Amino acid sequence: MRSIDVAPNSERKVMDVSSGAPTPSGQTALPAKMVAKNVDAFFGKTQALRSVSLEVAANRVLAIIGPSGCGKSTFLRCLNRMHEVAGGTMKGTVLLDGESIMDIDAVNLRRRVGMVFQKPNPFPTMSIFDNVAAGLRFNGHHNHKLLAEVVERCLRQAALWDEVKDSLGKSGMSISGGQQQRLCIARTLAVNPEVVLMDEPASALDPLSTAKIEELIYELKANYTIAIVTHNMQQAARVSDMTAFFYLGELIEIGETKRIFTTPDKRQTEDYITGRFG
């Protein structure tokens, strides 16, 4: 299940481009937590994804990169059926631990596959405490002791506890943008998901907050499987074990991050990561 044996090279935070031979295979030896097979996604008649197949390895960070409009966010939203909330439709198969997500009730699925959005979106009418507790509270947990424990654990995991422990009763909107985003991460962790999807979680934040979020992502993969969409290639290189490159709704290439950033197989990938992309 959740193996925590981390390969030594993924221990390194910043990719070392100069060292190491590229691994020949793009696929990982770890068990796949989520598998996408021939996923097509539509908004009305517009096709946003074309036959995307990839695996998200357990306890690893998968970064999804690509230019705007390439379908990377749409793909992420297919993984927890948020795509249909926005009125889209999906074809193909997505498996979570081998079970099709369409066979899992959407609400239950989203408790197992959580999501953090681009713009921090704490619930504006709730305190910091209530924001983190919301997922449990609205699902019938009212034991205050239990809630307080979970809130503290999740805020610690999100590296926010020390900054807000004296102001848990204050509005979730009263803290800074970076803190709000970490609050949203804590809120997501509170329902104890297995997979955490992040849709450009740091794109609205300053560099310092971004560094904190990246550090956090790195720590979270011990307990969670993570897929992160990012515009920032340095970020993908820093935080991820695997990288997938999307272009015009198609998966062009997926492989170990180090290999994708040093010796990609496809010309398009190389052009994009070297900034030659038109």
Partner 1 sequence: MTTNEKLYLFWRKTKNNAMLLFSLACLLIAVTPLVLIFSYTLIQGFSALNIDFFIQMPKPVGETGGGMANALVGTGILIGLGALFGLPVGIMAGIYLAEYGDNPLAATVRFLADVLSGIPSIVVGVVAYIIVVLPMKHFSALAGGVALAILMIPTVTRTTEEMIRLVPQSYREAGLAIGIPRWKTTLRIILPTALKGITTGILLAIARAAGETAPLLFTALGNRFWSTAIDQPIGSLTVFIYDYSKAPFEDWIRQAWGAAFMLITLIFLLSVIFRIVTRSRYEEH
Q: How many residues belong to the site for partner 1 (CB under 8 A)?
A: 31
**Per CB under 8 A, does 191 bind partner 1?**
yes
Residues 6+ apart with CB under 8 A from 136: 146, 147, 150, 190, 191
The sign of the torsion formed by the CA atoms of 237, 243, 249, 250 equals positive
Cβ proximity to partner 1: between 57 and 175 the closer is 175
Residues 19-48 that bind partner 1 (CB under 8 A): none
Residues 216-255 that bind partner 1 (CB under 8 A): none
Q: How far apart are CA 33 and CA 161, in angstroms?
A: 29
Name the minimum Å distance from CB 254 to partner 1. Answer: 24
Place of tokens 């699925």: 109
Cβ proximity to partner 1: between 52 and 196 the closer is 196
Name the minimum Å distance from CB 129 to partner 1. Answer: 13
Cβ proximity to partner 1: between 14 and 107 the closer is 107
Place of tokens 């999307």: 246
Residues 6+ apart with CB under 8 A from 249: 47, 48, 49, 50, 52, 70, 71
Name the minimum Å distance from CB 121 to partner 1. Answer: 4
| Distance, CA of 129 to chain centre | 23
Name the minimum Å distance from CB 117 to partner 1. Answer: 6
Q: How far apart are CA 134 and CA 231, in angstroms?
A: 30
Angle at 200 between CA 195 and CA 201, to 5 degrees: 70
- Selected from 6, 7, 85, 222, the binder of partner 1 by CB under 8 A is 85
63 and 226 Cβ atoms separated by less than 8 Å = no
**Per CB under 8 A, does 201 bind partner 1?**
no
**Per CB under 8 A, does 158 bind partner 1?**
no
**Per CB under 8 A, does 139 bind partner 1?**
yes
Provide the binding-site residues for partner 1, judged by CB under 8 A.
80, 82, 85-86, 107-108, 110-111, 114-115, 117, 119, 121-125, 127, 134-135, 138-139, 170-171, 173-174, 184, 187-188, 190-191
